[in-house]
Chain A
C-alpha cells in the first residue's frame, strides 16, 4: 500500500555517454499496476532497479509514500522483487524460499508457516512446498518467485520481465494470473517488460520509455488512441501503425501520391507544421477504398482476419499494412485502399511530436 513517485530520477552508469535513466518523472498511485515498456536499452529495468535500491539514484529522487529513498538500502525499502530468471535460492525448498524474507525479518516460525501456506494456496504451489527449485518446471519456479514476493506483503512489487523465460502459451496464461492477483492484493506494482502486448493487457497505466527518457505515461487505450509521438505510435500496437511522410497542402495532406483530408480540427492544428508524418493503424485502412494504391507483397491469414503487407505502388520503401477480412487479395496484386480519416494521426516530421489533441 504505497504511492511511488519518481522525481526527475536519473541514473548514469560510469563511462556511459548518456544517462541510463534521464530525469524520469512518474507518479504511481496507491495500488496501481504500472508497466514500464520499451525496446532494450531504454532504461526501463534500470528505472525499476533504482526503485528497488539495486541501482544508485544519481540525481533527483524516488519517494515511496512521500519518503525519500535516496541512500536507503534495499532491505529497508519494504519492496519485493520478482527477477527475470527468478533467482530462487537453489539449496532451499520452495517453502524456505518463500519464507526467507520473513525469517530475515524475525517473523515467528508458525506465523511464517501460515503465511507461506496461504501464498502457496493462492499460487497453487501447496504440493511443491518441500521440493527444491531444480525439481520444478519453469512455470512453477515463476510462481515460487511470485510467492516469495507476496508472502512479504510489501509496500511495492517490482517485477522485472517475470514472464520472459516462459513459453508462449504459459506466458499468456500467467499474464492474466499475475494481473488478477495484483488486482486482488491491491499492492502497488511496477512491472517491466519489452513486450507491448503484456504492457497493454496488464497495466492500469503504461510508461513507454526510449533511450532513458519517458515518452508517454497513460492508460493502454490512451496510448493506442492518442500516441504522444511517432515512437509511441510505432511501438504500441501490433502490427505497428503505418507511418507515411506527408506535406501540408491547402486541401489536406499530400501523401502517397494522393491528398487525404483529415477532420477540420486536425487540419487546423496541422497549420504551420509543413512536413508531417501521417499515422494510420492497419484497421483504419480498408481494401476497396479509393485513396492509396498498394502493391501486395505478403498476406498473413490469421483465420479470423488477415493482414496485407505491401508498399505504395510508386514507392517501394513506403511499407503499408492493411487489416482485411477473410477475403483478401493475393501477393503481387495491385489494390486500392481507403483511409478512415476520422482516425488519422499526425506528427510533426522534425520533432516527432503529435499534432492536435
Chain B
C-alpha cells in the first residue's frame, strides 16, 4: 500500500463529506497536495536507497569476498558467480585469532563498564544539579577530543614505557576509558536532561534519598540512553586501532591489529582479510541489533501526561 492510500483507508468517510459547493475544489486541492506529498516521498525513497547502497556496498563486497577463494578474490574483473567457500574462515580461525578476540573483548567490556560507572554520576550532576561552572566542565570534557590522538601518542607511549605498561591490556583499558568518557558524559547528559524534573521532585517528596532516587527512579527511565551510550563506547573501543597498534605488540594486541597482519610483505590475502574483517565486524553488528529495541523505545513515555 502506498502512504497516500493507507492514509485514505485510515480515515474512511473522508470522501463522503464532499457535498457542499466548493468541496470538489477543495478535494482536488487536497488530491494535489497528496500527490505532491507522494512525489516527495518517492524522491526521498530513491535518495535514501541510493545512499544506503553506497554506504552498504563496501560491506557487502567484503562479505562476498570472504566467501571466495584467494584466487577468485584476485581476478579482475571480479568474479560474480562463484561457489561460496568457508575455507578462508577456517584459515582465519586457525591462524590464532582467539587471543586477539579475547584482548579486544576484555578491553572493550571493561573500559565500557568503567566509562558507564563514571559517566552516569558525572552526567547526573551536570544535568540535574547544575552549578555555575557546568558549562566550563562540559567544554573541558569535549575539548579533550579536539586534540588528535597522533599528537598525544608520544607522551602516552613514554608514560606507558616508563610504567612498564607497554603491550598490556590494562593500558588499553585506561586509554579507552579516557577516550570514551567525554562522549559518554555528553550523551548521558542529554538523556538525563530529558528526565522530567517533577520525577526527581516526586521522589524527593516521597522521601527517597539521592542514591535510591537515582537507582530506582532515574536509571530505569534513562535505560535506553544507557544502552545507546554503552553501544557507542563498545563500538569505539572495539574498532580502536591507532593506540592499539602503537602500544601493543604480541600479548595485548587487539582485533584491528590482527587484521593488519594480513597485509604482509608477501602480498595481500584479500579473501582471508575479508573473512577476518567480517568476523571482526560481527560483534558490533550483533550488539547494535540487540540494543536496537532499547534504543528506539521512548525515553520517558508515560512519565508525563
List A residues at the B interface (Cβ < 8 Å).
52-54, 73-75, 79-81, 83-92, 100-101, 104-105, 132-136, 138, 148, 152, 165
How far does the alpha carbon of A334 sit from the alpha carbon of B229 in the complex, in Å?
72
A165 neighbours in B (Cβ, 8 Å): 305
Give the distance to chain A from B256, nearest Cβ to Cβ, in Å.
38
Q: Of A53, A100, A152, which one neighbours B208 at CB under 8 angstroms?
A: A100
How far does the alpha carbon of A43 sit from the alpha carbon of B80 in the complex, in Å?
75
B212 at the interface (CB under 8 A from A): yes
A100 neighbours in B (Cβ, 8 Å): 203, 206, 208, 216
Given A75-B208, A105-B207, CB of A89 within 8 Å of CB of B199: yes
Contact B196 A88, beta carbon cutoff 8 Å: no
Total A-B pairs, Cβ < 8 A: 85
Task: List the one stretch of B33-41, B278-286, B296-304 in contact with chain A.
Answer: B296-304
How far does the alpha carbon of A104 sit from the alpha carbon of B211 in the complex, in Å?
12
B206 neighbours in A (Cβ, 8 Å): 75, 100-101, 104, 148, 152
Q: Closest residue to A78 on the B side, CB-wise?
A: B207
How far does the alpha carbon of A149 sit from the alpha carbon of B196 in the complex, in Å?
19
- Describe A's contact surface by its main secondary structure: loop
Contact A87 B204, beta carbon cutoff 8 Å: no
Contact B302 A88, beta carbon cutoff 8 Å: yes
Contact with A along B263-277 (1 / 0, CB 8 A): 000000000000000
B198 at the interface (CB under 8 A from A): yes
List B residues at the A interface (Cβ < 8 Å).
196, 198-199, 201-209, 212, 216-217, 220-221, 223, 300-305
A74 neighbours in B (Cβ, 8 Å): 201, 204-205
Given A134-B301, A138-B305, CB of A87 within 8 Å of CB of B199: yes
Contact A85 B208, beta carbon cutoff 8 Å: no
How far does the alpha carbon of A132 sit from the alpha carbon of B204 in the complex, in Å?
21
Contact A133 B302, beta carbon cutoff 8 Å: yes
A52 neighbours in B (Cβ, 8 Å): 205
Contact A90 B302, beta carbon cutoff 8 Å: yes
Q: Of B207, B209, B305, which one neighbours A101 at CB under 8 angstroms?
A: B207
Contact A54 B202, beta carbon cutoff 8 Å: no
Contact A81 B205, beta carbon cutoff 8 Å: yes
Contact B301 A87, beta carbon cutoff 8 Å: no
Give the distance to chain B from A53, nearest Cβ to Cβ, in Å.
8
A148 neighbours in B (Cβ, 8 Å): 202, 206
Contact A87 B302, beta carbon cutoff 8 Å: no
Q: Closest residue to A96 on the B side, CB-wise?
A: B216
B300 neighbours in A (Cβ, 8 Å): 90
B196 neighbours in A (Cβ, 8 Å): 85, 87
Contact A89 B301, beta carbon cutoff 8 Å: no
A83 neighbours in B (Cβ, 8 Å): 198, 201-202
B221 neighbours in A (Cβ, 8 Å): 90-91
Q: Closest residue to A88 on the B side, CB-wise?
A: B303
B205 neighbours in A (Cβ, 8 Å): 52-54, 74-75, 79-81, 101
Residue among A73, A92, A100, A134 with max Cβ neighbours from chain B (10 Å): A100
Report 17 cross-chain contacts, Cβ distance below 8 Å, ordered by A residue.
Answer: A53-B205, A73-B204, A74-B201, A75-B209, A85-B304, A87-B201, A87-B202, A88-B202, A89-B199, A89-B303, A90-B303, A91-B221, A100-B216, A101-B207, A104-B206, A104-B207, A148-B206
How far does the alpha carbon of A266 sit from the alpha carbon of B15 in the complex, in Å?
65
Closest 4 CB pairs of A and B: A134-B302, A91-B220, A87-B198, A101-B206
Q: Of A79, A86, A132, which one neighbours B304 at CB under 8 angstroms?
A: A86
Give the distance to chain B from A11, nearest Cβ to Cβ, in Å.
16
A132 neighbours in B (Cβ, 8 Å): 302
How far does the alpha carbon of A100 sit from the alpha carbon of B212 in the complex, in Å?
11
Q: Of B204, B207, B217, B303, which one neighbours A54 at CB under 8 angstroms?
A: B204
A152 neighbours in B (Cβ, 8 Å): 206
How far does the alpha carbon of A134 sit from the alpha carbon of B299 in the complex, in Å?
12
Q: Closest residue to A79 on the B side, CB-wise?
A: B205
Residue among A52, A75, A133 with max Cβ neighbours from chain B (10 Å): A75
Contact A85 B204, beta carbon cutoff 8 Å: no
Q: Closest residue to A87 on the B side, CB-wise?
A: B198
Q: Closest residue to B303 on the A side, CB-wise?
A: A90
Give the distance to chain A from B150, nearest Cβ to Cβ, in Å.
44
How far does the alpha carbon of A80 sit from the alpha carbon of B216 in the complex, in Å?
19
How far does the alpha carbon of A100 sit from the alpha carbon of B203 in the complex, in Å?
8
How far does the alpha carbon of A25 sit from the alpha carbon of B95 in the complex, in Å?
83
How far does the alpha carbon of A91 sit from the alpha carbon of B303 in the complex, in Å?
9
Give the distance to chain A from B39, nearest Cβ to Cβ, in Å.
37
A54 neighbours in B (Cβ, 8 Å): 201, 204-205
Q: Closest residue to B198 on the A side, CB-wise?
A: A87
How far does the alpha carbon of A89 sit from the alpha carbon of B300 in the complex, in Å?
9
Q: Closest residue to B302 on the A side, CB-wise?
A: A134
Q: Closest residue to B208 on the A side, CB-wise?
A: A104
Q: Closest residue to B212 on the A side, CB-wise?
A: A104
B203 neighbours in A (Cβ, 8 Å): 89, 100
Q: Closest residue to A152 on the B side, CB-wise?
A: B206
How far does the alpha carbon of A346 sit from the alpha carbon of B207 in the complex, in Å?
50
Contact B207 A87, beta carbon cutoff 8 Å: no
Contact B207 A89, beta carbon cutoff 8 Å: no
Q: Closest residue to A75 on the B side, CB-wise?
A: B207
Give the distance to chain B from A241, nearest Cβ to Cβ, in Å.
35
Q: Closest residue to B298 on the A side, CB-wise?
A: A134
How far does the alpha carbon of A328 sit from the alpha carbon of B220 in the complex, in Å?
61
